[in-house]
Structure 1
């Protein structure tokens, strides 16, 4: 089931407190939908007089993304046909669907369509614990997404990140006209270690994301605000490092350094 929440304090610039209205949930798994694998709606977009969102699921071992429509953002109806489906992938978790400009690094709102944009469909595969994506064309009249022929769907497709990165989502930052990507870096510690330390995994550094000029892949880069975290720079110059040697860098508290050569 899909629920919604509203800010509890609109005067808080960080919107840290939220509440769930009593008319939840908004979207129930329809007949024939696997209720145990029905989650993670995308940012809704507006076209053809309806709000639209897609939700990840599966049928047996086939990954499915269902499309739902609403005129008032409260009463949602599932489309007759799946928005996208791929066999032998397992569950589609945390789907993300968004437009990217064919040229330039700026982001655009989720509702933008036209000749100057392509669309990206990203899914997180529960069986591999990685994020995969395709780039293609979205037909808003038929609510149909078609990956470009060069892309492979499923386990052999493009990964959003080739490190330990999962369950990502993006959002459009209208203040700076950029699309920002968030993801989960789930560490490789054992369950026992996670329990002992009291936490498991971290949010990866947020990144700006855009379409490469070739149109063949996405590019991402840490958001510019990360630079504000770098203070009191310490440099060590003209020092020859010999094999096995330990060199103290005074004036820092971190356990690692970055060798920029």
Structure 2
């Protein structure tokens, strides 16, 4: 059983539409995949309508959080998307994305980069705009060779020359809100140091005590030694261990299913969730 619990579509910063994403998941031989766009559930309906037979969809979102000045992401699975408190917080984060991206465009233009807001809007194509869209613009302009190369202090990494902060949820509040909506919380790529500063393991212990369900261990941004360390930490803290591709289509080189979650862990996630249920495919359009 192949399970990929972290995938993005054009509803945020992926390059596959939700329908294309689930069809690609089936073609890649996945049995279960999660749609976890940034701070939005807008792609869920399209993905469910197109869901091929034999593929199960886990609905979710990747929530933007910040702890002691460090950005972090919280994967929220199988929550009630209409629960008012969590919905209001997601909208607050999402609504701040446009002025934040416009601020990054202004900073980059001041640095001499011939970037425009119209270019970023075209790249986002109506999705929840974020740094990867600005990074893609830098690639188009020949400023950097790849999207990953834009996430440095020179350009868009936390604290970088073109970086602009946005509203991000306190992770303890995020856990409270997701749990209140019947969902399950997993800390995404917690040791991805190439993205910038990471939270200390002591903070992960505090999050575990506050109800964090798991940590994403098997991820392209974690080397083998880091995965081993995180696996040990998860065992010590009684946290679930997940693995996933963090697929973004052509915006990243990683393939669907490149990293996977153990079926027993997936089963535990579904047992803990009360806000929504995995959706089995019935042969979509």
TM-score bracket for this pair, using the shorter chain length: under 0.3
Q: Please identify which structure carries the higher helix content.
A: 2
Q: Structure 2-normalised TM-score? A: 0.22
Q: Please identify which structure carries the higher strand content.
A: 1
Higher Cα Rg: structure 1 or 2? 1
